[in-house]
Structure 1
Amino acid sequence: MISRRSVLQCITAGSLVGLVGHTGSTAQPESTADGTAQNATGKLRVSPTSVHYDEPFTLMVSGVAPGTVVTITARTFDREGRQWASFATFTASSKGVVDIETHAPDAGTYETVSPMGLIWSMRPTDGESSIYAPPEGGSDLTLTASADGRQIGQQTVTRWFGPKKLHTEASPDGLLGTLFRPSGDGPYPGVMVLHGSGGQPAVGSALMLAAHGYAAFAPQYFGPPDAVPDQLAEVPLEYLQRGYDWLTSRPAVRDGSVGLLGTSKGAELALLAGATFDWVGAVAAYAPSGIVWAGLTYGGEMTSSWTLDGDPVPFVPTAFPPSVIADYVASWPLGGSVSLRPTYEVGLEQASTERISEATIPVENIDGPVTLVSGGDDRLWPSATFGRMVVRRLRNHEHPYPVRHVTTETAGHAISFPYQPTTGLTAISSPPPGTTMALGGSPEGLARANKESWPVVLSTLEGGLS
């Protein structure tokens, strides 16, 4: 039996000869401008051959003998130049056709019918686990179809990460971040994109929004350098007010309301800022919390994540139950994953009703539509439960704007925009060395969540900022 890693290594070498049961010569296909490549053994058609990252493409092989085993491979490179690859083998239909939109693979890096399975199931060909970071601008995806040791065809799809004509602008002193927008005079509606506890600006989501005609500002609100707090603790909400003032002062940015898109702690911040400032016109919150939690400090001190007018915003402390400590102890020599979800669940159980009430974000004050996106298998914190709490509060207060909660049971914490590799997003490196922090979900579940939630997020921003 041929291992998945062996196939990926052969993809790296640019050949599947010997893996599909035939070692004959390889016929060279003829390519046409319409995305079709063919030779005497069949035809490969891919359409379109230039797409934005969140746009799908179709792939079909035709003209082969019924029952032919067809192997399709995909190759691309990430921002660091590392090669990623995937593959799937199919049995051609009675009409001599393989269509990835309707056919399940017999074997490969994914198992069920999934039109973009060749994308989300990609892995680094060096065998190491990694999170895929797309190159900015256009990057090439090479798709190859072969059968009986012969290449049927090869096509390249150019995938654009951000608008084809991109304008960027760095923020002024005292405000860290970058504005991404399409080139041109605009004016474009503004969105602030808020990162999570990783502390790095959410450039990817900002570029994706820019491709949809938004002026997306990705600020950094904690971490080095000195312009912002060095840890996620007592971050002033007024920092976002400065971000709004600068964003809407740009000549190409539409004045008035802006949207907030946040992930994890950034989603908590988005909901809190939306309930605090009247300039927020829409909120999209990935892996959200409608409760303010303790900040993340180097020394373990319990303090709020945020301040307003110089005062800490009321918060609920996290807890470290024995089960989490035991998981850390057990995982360190074995390299296992640790779920931090119990630290929040037990924190809620231990907090008084009064403390929870004080720390609950008054989301009913948000002057616009609200969308929550969560995974039922979130292992970092119970975002699906938190999302339901937000929805319940909004409905109890008869929120006059659309409220939507997109939940995917097989997804975890790392839900984002669609059609990207998700194989490295179920866990991330964590101290101590050798352990990982569980994010939850499966690669396929995350891919489904990305696809289902992204149009809802775009609709929320469009509805609140139109």
Structure 2
Amino acid sequence: MAKLTAVPLSALVDEPVHIQVTGLAPFQVVCLQASLKDEKGNLFSSQAFYRASEVGKVDLECDSSLGGDYMGVHPMGLFWSLKPEKILGRLVKIDVMNSPYQIHIKVCHPSFPIQGIVVSPPLDSLTLERWYVAPGVKRIQVKEGRIRGALFLPPGEGLFPGVIDLFGGAGGLMEFRASLLASRGFATLALAYWNYDDLPSQLEEVDLEYFEEGVEFLLRHPKVLGPGVGIVSVCLGAEIGLAMAINLKQITATVLINGPNFVSKNPHVYRGQVNPPVPCNEEFVITNALGLVEFYRTFEETAHKDSKYCFPIEKAHGHFLFVVGEDDKNLNSKVHANQATAQLIKNGKKNWTLLSYPGAGHLIEPPYTPLCQASRMPTVIPSINWGGKVIPHAAAQEHSWKEIQKFLKQHLLPNLSSQL
């Protein structure tokens, strides 16, 4: 009798799972399927075909998928190859504290969707819990002065290295990365800056003094180590993170995931100084064969060729980790990062590391998150192509997440840097 096992059954979403099937006939071909529903009821699913060994066993850690949503040896392929039933779906956890994702896995006889044939029941099945928060992590709603967001504190007395987590053009408050960082030992402030609570519903300008208040709020907390903080940021958030690192001496370590090295749309304002956006060449907006828009060429004639638009990154005191998806269709992230690092080199700076991933798209997220190649945005019509190819994008997410944590520890916990 077939027996499906997965270890561990309950874990954080960035932890791998060891999946095996035993009790099969020698060399039997089976189909492994995974599915979950997000908090809005949207279905995501994946499948892969495997051939059992001579002893009737399938082990995803060493056996190769014969086909389905991926091929080859990929122990977590069923997770990162999950696809939305409705196109333009992105898997984003809303309530990180109270409920995990329930991922249902089953092993079946291979079947073909021919009308009139009854699909046989699964040989075995199980349900996994995938959490975005570790036991003991505390979430504190933040509404202090102008600051709006959520602070996640690791379990224990502290002190903990502090991190500010910034997302981009979707607005609102996204907490899933901040809760995971707290689960890995970082006191993390998920900081909203538009379209949330009483913040502006539209982003007209980037007020860097607001983000400075966020830094000061975090450093005042009795469980935050200091004297500096880190930033983890993506897209528009990375644009803001870079500006913060240049203007605020408290920023010690900045992770920039697929962001520009210039003001892209909304002017930046700081202490009376206004930094206007780079001219955008709308004629370079591409609409692909699927009707999805791609923006990665829109700054070719200005930012790429004229350094006067670039942030003076050489003025920053802290360290940078650039994370680049080379198949990003929203920003030409590789060009922007190369331009920023060349600027640092020109000024004799060695305070940076560049991770550049061929085949990875714009939305590089925590490990085993399904690739979102396209989705709707509240301020953009039609929908956006984010780019990325499933297998290399998954590899980029797994590798970069480890490197992000290592980078933050190295520069926020200097006493431990010698051990890393």
- For the criterion TM > 0.5, the same-fold answer is yes
RMSD across aligned positions (CA)? 2.5
2:411 is aligned with 1:464: yes
Aligned in 2, Cα 1:409/1:438: closer, same or farther, shift over 3 Å? same
* Counterparts of residues 20-99 of structure 1 (less than 5 Å): 41-99=1-59
Note if 1:454 corresponds to 2:413: no
Aligned to 1:388: 338
Q: Which amino acid aligns with 2:165?
A: V
Separation of aligned partners in 2, 1:177 and 1:434 = 27
Letter in 2 for 1:177: G
Asked if residue 421 in structure 1 is aligned to residue 370 in structure 2, the reply is: yes
Q: Indicate if the aligned counterparts of 2:166 and 2:231 stay in contact, CA closer than 8 A.
A: yes
Q: Counterpart of 1:455 in structure 2: which amino acid?
A: K
Deviation at 1:143, TM superposition (A): 2.0
For 1:63-462, what aligned pairs fall within 5 Å after superposition?
A: 63-125=23-85, 127-134=86-93, 135-137=95-97, 138-147=100-109, 149=120, 151-171=122-142, 172-223=144-195, 227-228=199-200, 230-295=201-266, 304=267, 306-321=268-283, 323-324=284-285, 327=286, 336-348=291-303, 353=306, 356-357=307-308, 359-401=309-351, 403-422=352-371, 425-429=372-376, 435-462=382-409
> How many Å apart are 1:96 and its aligned residue?
2.6
From the superposition, tell whether residues 431 and 173 of structure 1 become closer, same or farther in structure 2 (CA, over 3 Å): closer
1:340 counterpart letter in structure 2:
F
Matched residue type, 2:408: L
Letter matched to residue 390 of structure 2: P
Tell me, in whole angstroms, the C-alpha distance in 2 between the residues paired with 1:234 and 1:189: 29
Task: Write the distance in 2 (CA, Å) between the matches of 1:207 and 1:430.
Answer: 23
- The 8 Å contact of residues 283 and 460 in structure 1, kept in 2 or not, is answered as no
Whole-angstrom distance in 1 between the partners of 2:92 and 2:139:
19
Give me the whole-angstrom Cα distance separating, in 2, the residues matched to 1:265 and 1:143.
36
CA contact (8 A) 1:44 1:61 kept: yes
State the 4+ residue runs in structure 1 displaced beyond 6 angstroms: 431-434
* 2:171 maps to amino acid: G
Q: Distance in 1 between matches of 2:78 and 2:182?
A: 26
AA at the equivalent of 1:419: Y
CA deviation vs aligned residue, 1:241-267 (integer Å, no higher than 9, x gap): 111111122222223111011101111
Amino acid at match of 2:61: E
Equivalent-residue separation in structure 1 for 2:42 and 2:136 (angstroms): 25
SS at match of 1:256: strand
> Counterparts of 1:203 and 1:85 in 2: how far apart (Å)?
24
In the superposition, relative to structure 1, how do residues 224 and 49 fare at CA in structure 2: closer, same or farther (>3 Å)?
A: closer
Residues 110 and 427 of structure 1, relative CA distance in 2, 3 Å threshold: same
- Opposite residue 53 of structure 2, the aligned amino acid is S
Alpha-carbon deviation of 1:122?
1.3
What fraction of aligned residue pairs are identical, expressed as a percent?
Answer: 28
Q: Which residue of 2 aligns with 1:14?
A: none
Instruction: String of CA shifts for 1:383-403, please: whole Å, max 9, x gaps.
Output: 0111112222223333344x2
In structure 2, what residue type is equivalent to 1:58?
H
Residues 111 and 319 of structure 1: CA distance in aligned 2, closer, same or farther (over 3 Å): same
How high is the TM-score relative to the length of structure 1? 0.79
Residues in 2 aligned to 1:455 and 1:224: alpha-carbon distance in whole angstroms = 30
The residue identity in structure 2 corresponding to 1:446 is H
Structure 2: unaligned runs, 5 residues or longer: 111-119, 414-420
Instruction: In structure 1, give the amino acid aligned to 2:361.
Output: G
Alpha-carbon contact 2:323-2:355 (below 8 Å) kept: yes
Structure 1 segments unaligned to the other structure (5+ residues): 1-40, 296-303
- 1:177-196 CA-partner distances (Å, limit 9, x unpaired): 11122244322211111111
Q: How far apart, in 2, do the equivalents of 1:80 and 1:374 lie?
A: 30
| Equivalent residue, structure 2, for 1:24 | none
| Contact 1:411/1:440 (<8 A) preserved | yes
Q: How many residues are aligned here?
A: 400
Q: Is the 8 A contact 1:260 1:280 kept in 2?
A: yes
Deviations 1:285-320 (A, max 9, x none): 10022223232xxxxxxxx2x111122125422111
Quote how far apart the aligned CAs of 1:435 are.
Answer: 2.8
Q: Secondary structure at the match of 1:157?
A: strand
What's the CA shift for 1:368?
3.1
Partner of 2:116: none
